[in-house]
Amino acid sequence: MTQVPLISPLKAPLKGTIRVPGDKSISHRAILFSAMAEGVSEVKGVLDSDDVRSSLAAIQALGAQANLTKAEDGSLEGTIKGWGAKGPTEPSGPIDCGNSGTTARLLMGILAPWDICVTLTGDDSLKKRPMRRITAPLMKMGAHFEPAEGQNLPLKVCGSSKLQGIRYEAPMASAQLKTAVLLAGIFAEGKTALIEPSPSRNHTELMLPEFGIPTTAANCTAEVQGGSIPQAASILVPGDPSSAAFIACAALLKPGSEVCIENVSLNTARIGFTRTLERMGADITIVRTGASGKEPVGNISVRYTPGLRGCEIPADKIAGLVDEIPVLSLVAAHAKGITVFREVSELRVKESNRLAAIIEGLSQLGVDAWEDGNDLYIEGNPNLKNTSHLFFTAHDDHRLAMTWALVGLCGNKPVIIPDFSSVTISYPNFLSDVMRLGK
**Active centre residues (catalytic):** 323
Residue 7 or 402: the one with the smaller Cβ distance to ligand S3P is 402
Residue 125 in the binding site for ligand S3P (CB under 6 A): no
Interface with ligand S3P (CB under 6 A), residue from 48, 210, 323, 324: 323
The closest of 75, 86, 114 to 239, measured between CA atoms, is: 75
Stretch that binds ligand S3P, among 34-42, 84-92, 175-183, 382-390 (CB under 6 A): 175-183
What is the closest distance, in whole angstroms, from the C-beta atom of residue 285 to ligand S3P in the complex? Answer: 26
Residue 174 in the binding site for ligand S3P (CB under 6 A): yes
What is the closest distance, in whole angstroms, from the C-beta atom of residue 43 to ligand S3P in the complex? Answer: 16
- Contact indicator for 262, 17 with CB cutoff of 8 Å: yes
Residue 257 in the binding site for ligand S3P (CB under 6 A): no
Size of the site for ligand S3P (CB under 6 A): 12
Q: Which of residues 85-104 bind ligand S3P (CB under 6 A)?
A: 102
Spatial separation of the C-alpha atoms in residues 40 and 84, rounded to whole Å: 10
Interface with ligand S3P (CB under 6 A), residue from 7, 22, 25, 159: 25
Question: Using CB under 6 A as the criterion, what x/- string covers residues 190-219 for binding ligand S3P?
Answer: ----------xx------------------
Residue 55 in the binding site for ligand S3P (CB under 6 A): no
Residue 66 in the binding site for ligand S3P (CB under 6 A): no
Residue 175 in the binding site for ligand S3P (CB under 6 A): yes
Residue 7 or 355: the one with the smaller Cβ distance to ligand S3P is 355
What is the closest distance, in whole angstroms, from the C-beta atom of residue 97 to ligand S3P in the complex? Answer: 13
Q: Which residues bind ligand S3P (CB under 6 A)?
A: 25, 28, 102, 174-176, 179, 200-201, 322-323, 346
